[in-house]
Amino acid sequence: MKTELSYYEVCPKVLLAKDCGAITIRPLGHHAAFKPETPYTITVIPMNETTRNDKAQAYPVYKANSADGSLSFSHQLGAEGQYALRIVPQIDTMPRGFPLEVRVYAVEEDLYRLRPYRGDLHAHTCYSDGKEAPAIVAANYRKAGFDFLAITDHERYEPSIEAIDAYRDIPIDIRLFPGEEVHPQGNHTHYIHIGGISSVNKLMQSDWARYHREVAELAAGLNIPESLNREEFASCQWVCREIHKAGGLAIMVHPHWIHDHAYHIREDMAAYMLKATCFDAFELIGGQTLQENIPQVALWRQLQAEGNTIPILGCSDSHGTVNSPWFNTAKSIVFAEYAGRSAIMDAIRQNRSVAQEQYTFGPYGQEPLPRMYGEYRYVMFALFLEEEYFPIHDELCYEEGRLMKDYICGAPNAAGLLTTLHGRCEALMKRYWEQAKKPAALY
């Protein structure tokens, strides 16, 4: 975390573009307080609009004095983007810690009414090839700073429901969605189903004859290139159709997973599946190795260049949440009106997500920031949030995650403490996003 985040709180931190509003820089401790006897200047620097090559332009500068240790000023930010606020005391000797720079971000109305939520929609538990129980997996995800999670065990829907039920009687701020990894018989390709009200795996397992019959009917009516496996593509269509019938989101996962010495899905089939838009989203970053993620990113970029719009996600495919090389390496930031199932799913379908990849230990070492993929606009905002919002957010999540585990393990005071902590991340958003312009219905 940057020192400035520990010493100062800027409110609001996200403002409506081209709107005039007050910005306050508040010290977090008297050691950081602005001196009442010292005048300060605040220079507003739009990071997308440098004046270095235009001598006729200058950055706006404000004079401010502190009465209570804080500095406040009003300014109309310009176009969407990040703004640096450079604070300089107007005295002969520059004190330690100055010049001080803090950041704010301006967004257009459509993005302003949304909020960023971090999540993972591909995770396993001890019910398949993971390590921990579903409720413990959920607690450890919250501890790591996640706002939503779908457990997606192989061929099993029930573990995701077990996690949801485990916390049904207490208030928690991480949203848990139903999920499963779907394994069709006779088709080695895997599919992720999240958010649906019933299990596609169970539907298949209850009547394999029906599944094979309906896939054969779909295959007979296909008009696809001769080089492709008709049954495999028909199976894909069938699975996605049944996911949608259940009200779920269908996600294509790890086509370049190296399994049995070869990629999981043939290159031409993977590209055809994505172009055919059977899926709602593509797990661009699968959380495992660069050898697998790099070609997936290249494929997505190629398809984008050819005119295909493909919503993307970062999902860890974690098989353990304690000392695991995959846990927390891939994630998604989704821009939605709230963190509920329908809002998150709609935002993904509408391509309002950023896929992230960051390795913190193992063969790739410690990476200070994640690589981010998505539309430029959302990536730029997500980069700001990773540096200016999520470090504070994550501290709150850590405390809640610890208490969630305590609750599952029987600690007598955990439920009461969770009730006390409930809503702190939402309160942080209320401080960081300007209140006057946000519809009350979204609180």
Alpha-carbon distance of 156 to 114, in angstroms, equals 33
293-312 residue pLDDT tens: 999 999 999 999 999 999 99
Residue 338 DSSP one-character state: S
What CATH number should be reported for the domain whose range is 115-425?
Answer: 3.20.20.140
Task: Pull the structure tokens for residue 272.
Answer: 């055809």
Mutual orientation of helices 267-275 and 230-245 as an angle, nearest 10°?
Answer: 40
Superfamily covering domain 3-108 = Macroglobulin (MG2) domain (2.60.40.1930)
Structure pTM?
0.94
Q: What is the end-to-end Cα distance of the chain in Å, rounded?
A: 27
Neighbours of 174 (CB within 10 A): 25
Alpha-carbon distance of 21 to 40, in angstroms, equals 19
Bridge-based pairing state of the strands 20-27 and 179-182: unpaired
Q: Contact at 8 Å (CB) between 46 and 86?
A: no
Alpha-carbon distance of 263 to 266, in angstroms, equals 7
Alpha-carbon distance of 136 to 232, in angstroms, equals 36
State the sign of the Cα–Cα–Cα–Cα dihedral 266, 272, 278, 284: positive
What does each of the 443 residues of the chain score in pLDDT, given as a tens digit? 899 999 999 999 999 999 988 999 999 999 999 999 999 999 999 999 887 777 777 899 999 999 899 999 999 999 999 999 999 999 988 888 899 999 999 999 999 999 999 999 999 999 999 999 999 999 999 999 999 999 999 999 999 999 999 999 999 999 999 999 999 998 888 999 999 999 999 999 999 999 999 999 999 999 999 999 999 999 999 999 999 999 999 999 999 998 888 888 999 999 999 999 889 999 999 977 899 999 999 999 999 999 999 999 999 999 999 998 889 999 999 999 999 999 999 999 999 999 999 987 777 778 888 999 999 999 999 999 999 999 999 999 999 999 999 999 999 999 999 999 999 999 999 999 975 443 333 22
Task: Report domain extents, the chain.
Answer: 3-108, 115-425
Answer left, alpha or beta for residue 249, where phi above 0 means left and psi between -120 and 50 means alpha: beta
Alpha-carbon distance of 178 to 123, in angstroms, equals 11
Answer left, alpha or beta for residue 18, where phi above 0 means left and psi between -120 and 50 means alpha: left
225-262 residue pLDDT tens: 999 999 999 999 999 999 999 999 999 999 999 888 88
